[in-house]
A and B are shown apart, each in its own frame.
Chain A
């Protein structure tokens, strides 16, 4: 059984800004605009074809103005890094409803250079009153909070967690566009020897800080048949939001929104975990995709540590990580937020990498024989969630 919107739409355009990393000459909106232009070129469409605009952190008002368009459907859902997975879901629904035909989903952030990046929660907000006064300072101090509870309840260890950045770096070494491409491989020991940022996170447990943008073009499966790119079908999607602040997690070892979002996506796609060839699980930090492996049901609760730290020796004598190149479950194959790029809301890059892999355009890091990919991300600290299951046939 599949959901009634499964396979009704396809991604027909996907592109990032010309470069990612440091873009000191581009504002937040300029980054959005270049990403939109590149994705439309990839799709072989023009701005005039776009009648649905989905964007964050730029709002639909400011981006429609900047691009000089008048879309008849707009969505400015802004719940953090998974906003783009949620936009895919909303675009599918809007296209099915006839509210738009060509959906443009845009992301752009001057996350490193900070050119026109708006502030978040003010001092009167719940976060400004009940988290910030206690010395929280950015994501490393909040995404880290659930970790020791998970260690305590399930015996997960820091050494197990240290395998995630090491496996992810293996992919970045194969991706010339990855910010850490030239830095070479790292070991779990290297992760633990890097400077402490916020215990239990060392520097190499933390995502990069970058400028960058990306965009997707989605249309009906019918229209997608005649377009420039091989259509990447949307099989199933999910979304949820459970809270805003990490301190309000109901259970610090589970992301409630992830559980709900993942179940919806699998049900709509009519697939089981064994049907998924490739995973993009938003890695804001080493621990983040571990929690998602559990909450999406790829492993049982408490077993992510053992799963990600399982290694074997490959035919050439090289260590093969479970989620690394040659591993059983290829994950975060662009190099992830940890080693590819992270501008603040990484979800768009995860979606674009899934499309790239499913098109067979991933070069040295191409996963052979791939037919399906699951993309999942959080918004803020395990608060919101969005899931997208894609297929190339």
Chain B
């Protein structure tokens, strides 16, 4: 698989490593603040709600809603157009950018704002697994 994937790859940093390690293990991990009790995304070294550094990594449900999206027709390297770039509102609250994987070429008819989604893990290299989403059954 390594060498074949041409898309841009993240280079994890100390505060994000548990997220990427989780993805590789098929888990969507979020940092939760042990002081104010809120999760956040993207992962920081301090809670962006209260500045606490007492963070606890917990597995998220993997469920979310399609907050907004685009269908890109000019592919980035490693992608085949058209494909969906979406902002997903996780059931736990934080929003993240990802893709919505559809059966067949995506069209606006298939995608309704606020539709239910669930995470799916795409191991693009030996090291990196990207969490993408698909319509929930």
**A residues at B contact (CB < 8 Å):** 122-124, 126, 128-137, 140-141, 144-149, 152, 195-201, 245-248, 252
Task: Count contacts on B: residues with CB < 8 A to the other chain.
Answer: 36
**CB of B95, distance to nearest CB on chain A (Å):** 7
17 chain-A/chain-B pairs, Cβ below 8 angstroms: A123-B8, A123-B10, A130-B97, A134-B99, A135-B83, A135-B99, A137-B74, A137-B75, A140-B72, A141-B72, A145-B70, A152-B68, A152-B114, A199-B72, A201-B70, A247-B87, A248-B42
Assembled-state Cα–Cα distance A56/B121 (Å):
40
User: Bound state CA distance, A287 and B12, in angstroms?
Assistant: 34
What residues on B are CB-neighbors of A246 within 8 Å? 97
Besides A129-B12, A252-B68, 6 more A-B contacts (Cβ < 8 Å) are: A129-B11, A129-B13, A135-B72, A137-B72, A145-B85, A199-B73
Instruction: Enumerate the 9 nearest inter-chain pairs by beta-carbon distance, A residue then B residue, closest first.
Output: A129-B10, A149-B68, A247-B97, A137-B76, A199-B71, A123-B11, A124-B11, A152-B113, A135-B79
A23 and B11 alpha carbons, distance in the complex (Å): 35
Residues of chain A with a CB closer than 8 A to B130's CB = 133-134
Chain B positions 56-113 with a Cβ under 8 Å from a chain A Cβ: 67-76, 78-79, 82-83, 85, 87, 95-99, 108, 113
* Inter-subunit contact A135/B74 (CB<8 Å): no
Q: Which chain B residues border A145 with CB–CB below 8 Å?
A: 68-70, 85, 87
Expressed in whole angstroms, the Cα–Cα distance for A67 and B26 within the complex equals 55
- Verify A252–B71 contact, CB threshold 8 A: no
Across the interface, do A128 and B11 meet the contact criterion of CB distance under 8 Å? yes
Contact of B74 among A124, A140, A252 (CB under 8 A): A140
The answer to whether A146 and B7 touch across the interface, beta carbons within 8 angstroms, is no
Does the CB pair A247–B8 fall under 8 Å?
no
Q: List chain B residues, Cβ under 8 A from A197.
A: 73-74
Check if B98 sits within 8 Å of A134, measured CB to CB: yes
Q: In the assembly, what is the distance between CA of A147 and CA of B9, in Å?
A: 27
Partner of A126, one of B42, B76, B99: B42
B70: which A residues are within 8 A, CB to CB? 141, 144-145, 147-148, 198-201
Q: Is B21 an interface residue (CB 8 A)?
A: no
- A196 nearest CB across to chain B (Å): 5
CB distance from A329 to the nearest CB of B (A): 28
Contacts of A252 in B (CB 8 A): 67-68, 87
Q: Which residues of chain A have C-beta atoms less than 8 A from B96's C-beta?
A: 130, 247
Contact assessment for A130 and B67 in the assembled complex, using a CB-CB cutoff below 8 Å:
no
Check B85 against A135 for contact (C-beta < 8 Å): yes
Q: Give the most central of A131, A145, A199, A200: most B CB within 10 Å.
A: A199
Q: Which of B69, B82, B108 has the most CB of A within 10 A?
A: B69
Closest Cβ of chain B to A142, distance in Å, is 8
Q: In the assembly, what is the distance between CA of A5 and CA of B87, in Å?
A: 41
B38 within 8 A of partner (CB): no
Closest chain-B Cβ to A10's Cβ sits at a distance in Å of: 41
A148 touches B113 (CB 8 A): yes
Contacts of A124 in B (CB 8 A): 10-13
CA distance A134 to B42 in the complex (A): 14
In the assembled complex, the Cα of A136 lies from the Cα of B76 at a distance in Å of 7
Q: How many whole Å from A137's CB to the nearest CB in chain B?
A: 4
Which residues of B (1-16) have their CB < 8 Å from a CB of A?
Answer: 7-13, 16
Assembled-state Cα–Cα distance A201/B70 (Å): 9
**Chain B: CB-nearest residue to A146:** B68
